Structure 1
Amino acid sequence: MPIPIILDCDPGTDDALAIFLALASPELSVLAITVAGGNVGLDRTLPNALTLTALAGSAVPVHAGADRPLLGQFVSAPHIHGTDGLGGMILPTGKPAAPGLAADVIRRILRESPDPVALVGIGPATNLALALATEPALITQVARIVLMSGAWAEGNVTPAAEFNAWSDPEALAILLATGRPVVFATLELTAQALVTPARITAWRALGNGRCLHAASDIQASLTPSPRLAGQGTPLHDPCAIAWLIQPALFTARDCAVRIDLGPGPSRGRTLIDRWSGATPNATVLETLDADGFFALLGERLARLP
């Protein structure tokens, strides 16, 4: 049976491929896509999600959510994703957003679903945290929480913190406190999913579909990461989706994870304890079969219109 999921995102170039991968995969039943401000503002992430969903020919409803974190100010990353969030690609406009705010929709789906639902968060965790904090009894309807968030060591927005965790660390702490299984795809894991010119060329050879073409063009627009010595661009968000589809591509370790909520330079750091023997509260993905990952992604992109 397909795994029912709610996909919470902030598109975002890597979110684009995660959305395509989720919608192209029969292993998943995407009940809704909820959107927050993150990589760029909600005024761009929401149209982007609508565009990408329409491009994939999907009728999955897309709902607007939080435009700022639970505390503090919103900060975007246009230097990575472009001012439009999709690397400047010109894509057709999608349909209007479905009615209902993201947190309300998440709660409604959890109430009505006959089976527990996986919550997949590939942006700041604000929408998911708002839903669960305002109706905690629904946690029994959550199968697991799968996140692209955090880092073992150095961050990518500050020396301490990864962007999604740093953007709303209080929301991330709320999810960790729910007691449900939490899975982290961290920066160290997603650094193993490097998009290179050779991999983009391989995608282009798979067909002429509009989604495959858009995915290739979006990734080709990005500058190789100086954090990774210019070897390529890490494809962060699809890793969380791929783990749900083919967990055998990954190795993982159960760990105790805490979030630094202080106001100083370590704010948003994910303190991942592998060695002390503290009681684990999360599973952290450690290694990725990169060739298998890109084979899966290419095969699924080629299925789309």
Structure 2
Amino acid sequence: MDVSLTVWVLTVVGLGVLIAADFFIGRKPHDVSMREAGIWTVVWIALAVAFGLGLLAFGEAQASTEFFAGFITEKSLSVDNLFVFVLIMAKFSVPSHLQQRVLLFGVLIALALRAVFIGAGAAMISSFSWVFYIFGAFLIYTAWKLIKEARAEEEDEEFEENRLLKSIEQKFGVADRYHGTKLFIESNGKRVLTPLMVVMLAIGTTDILFALDSIPAIFGLTQDPYIVFTANAFALMGLRQLYFLLGGLLKKLVHLSYGLSVILGFIGVKLVLHALHESGVDTPEISTPLSLGVICGVLVITTITSLLASRKQAATEPADR
């Protein structure tokens, strides 16, 4: 898909307007209700669907299919982020009325960092076709690792700060309590971070770890940087509302890791086949429509089996007691 600089600028400006509208509508710190979270979740999904249909209307059928495949993949992988977000909120004891502000800015940091990853990935792919082997192998390894983690069933999981976050805290210092929506305060004549700023950075920088598998995954579905960026943007910007909407449902998605491992493994194989094809080896390639069907099918099956397993577990617990 040939995208001009003008289209890129208009897209970024358009996303910026939507983000600004989201911010100003909910700028006052408050507890997010299920109704509010539900409305904004529908709005962001509707905007993503409208964007994908817009590509189709302008005659970009292939780009439209790739966008929807990429959006659904990124959305499903981002749900896994929510488990970590819950751990981060608990680790820093974030007041409930400040959580929506934390998530908004944390997601913006994550989107900016992902843009850098996307640019680097696109540059590598355009210069070195063998990169597909690395991406494919990494996704297959990640899929295997997800299965191992799911089988381990580590229930006493706790968020651990990364080195970057620790170094920032040591350099600037951190206040001992929250100060509303302030990000910095003066303490003993020194400008220090508030816990609110620290937790925003925690969410934003932690997303780098998720980007290591999600970016190669979407490059396995499309090599168009424009589609990769917009799919990531729409998936991430609806993540804040999804956090409040799902709530306790996250704990019921007990088979999510298995589903994500299947998706990542499938895309990993797709990338390896594509790399072999690019190298001149006569191998079949997996089409984007087939990829979209597999991704949607796996997510539907995973959700159904998760809810059934959770219901069965809930029914047996009273009997055990």
User: What TM-score, normalized to structure 2?
Assistant: 0.24
Higher strand proportion:
1
Name the larger-Rg structure.
2
Give the structure with the higher percent helix: 2
User: Structure 1 length normalisation: TM-score?
Assistant: 0.25
